Amino acid sequence: MKKIVLLAILVLAFSCKKEEKEKVANESCAKEKSTGKKGFQMYEMSEMAALMEQMYVDNLRLKDRIIKGDTIGKFPQHFVKIHSAVMSDGKDNDDFFKIQAKKFIQAQELIYKDPVNAKQHFNNGVQACLNCHEQKCGGPIPRIKKLFIK
Ligand code: HEC
């Protein structure tokens, strides 16, 4: 019996802590919209936010390689974590998100399947980032737009 009570307390404490964390990370997405006003602030990123930052950097590097005509390499498998990574706000993982995530992965895969048209596929991939962000998380949009290859 004692063990069960202890477990219950542990579970409670854990879920409470998690909620707090989510709150902080969720604000970060909104905060990005007003960058400059409050300046830089430390916050804990959600798994999804960290994946997004990684995808941003990966796409920046890929853009460089496409422009220079370097080899494209292989599809970065960690991108598929977009289907499962934990978000700051679990409510964001709705049907819209799932459909956009699928389209995004398909667009990114095409770059590697058909490297001759890498530039076109790459830009479609960036557009897929934007299609989701226009609904989900407006803050990073100006940054994402810079990824387009002109
Ligand atoms: C299917 C929807 C979807 C797609 C596609 C998508 N994002 Fe996101 N992105 C989100 C959501 C939702 C968040 C907020 C995540 C969170 O806070 O947990 C986010 C957050 C971010 C952030 C902010 C992370 C932070 O520091 O808080 C950046 C930057 C970002 N995305 C860039 C990208 C880029 C670049 C792409 C394409 C390569 C992309 N996103 C594709 C939904 C998407």
Cα 6 to averaged position of ligand 1 atoms, centre (Å)? 38
Cα 25 to averaged position of ligand 1 atoms, centre (Å)? 13
What's the pLDDT at 41?
59
What's the pLDDT at 13?
47
Cα 52 to averaged position of ligand 1 atoms, centre (Å)? 5
Task: Read off the tokens for 41.
Answer: 């602030």
What's the pLDDT at 44?
82
In this structure, what are the phi and psi dihedrals at residue 88, rounded to the nearest 5 degrees?
A: -60, -40
What's the pLDDT at 146?
98
What's the pLDDT at 42?
63
Buried b (16+ CB within 10 A) or exposed e, 75-104: eeeebeebeebbbbeeebbeeebeebbebb
HSE, CB side, 13 Å, CA atoms: give it for residue 134. Answer: 7
Q: What is the pLDDT along the chain (150 residues), one digit of tens a residue?
A: 666 555 555 554 444 444 433 343 344 465 443 344 445 556 689 999 999 999 999 999 999 999 999 999 999 999 999 999 999 999 999 999 999 999 999 999 999 999 999 999 999 999 999 999 999 999 999 999 999 999
